[in-house]
Amino acid sequence: MTTFHGVDLPDLSGTTAVVTGANSGIGRSVSQALAAAGARVVLAVRSIERGHTAAHGIGGDTEVRELDLANLDSVRTFAADWDGPIDLLINNAGVSGPSLTRTTDGFESKFGINHLGHFALTNLLLPDITGRVVTVSSQAERLARLDFADLNWAQRPYQASRAYNDSKFANLLFTAELHRRLTAAGSGVRAHAAHPGLVATDIYQHDGPRRPIDLMWSVVLGLLAQDADHGALPVLYAAVADIPGNSFTGPRHLAHMRGAPQLIDRSEPAQDPELARRLWNVSEQLTGVGFPLPSGTGTR
If one counts every other C-beta atom within 10 angstroms of the C-beta of residue 106, the result is: 10
Task: Please confirm, yes or no, whether 164 is among the known catalytic residues.
Answer: yes
- Alpha-carbon radius of gyration of the chain: 18
Q: Which of 15, 93, 29 is nearest to 226 (CA)?
A: 29
User: DSSP string of 190-216?
Assistant: EEEEE---SB-SGGG--SSPPPHHHHH
Pairing of the two strands 62-66 and 129-136: unpaired
The string of DSSP codes covering 121-190 is HHHHHGGGEEEEEEEE--GGGGG----TT-TT-SSSPP-HHHHHHHHHHHHHHHHHHHHHHHHHTT---E
Task: Let me know: does 133 contact 178? Beta carbons within 8 Å.
Answer: yes
Q: 256: alpha, beta or left, given left = phi > 0 and alpha = psi -120 to 50?
A: left
Give 212-241 as a DSSP string.
HHHHHHHHHHHHHPBPHHHHTHHHHHHHHS
114 touches 95 (CB < 8 A): yes
Residue 271's SS3 state is: helix
Length of the chain: 300
DSSP 53: H
The answer to whether 17 and 42 are in contact (CB under 8 A) is yes
Q: How far apart are CA 72 and CA 105, in angstroms?
A: 7
Active-site positions read 164
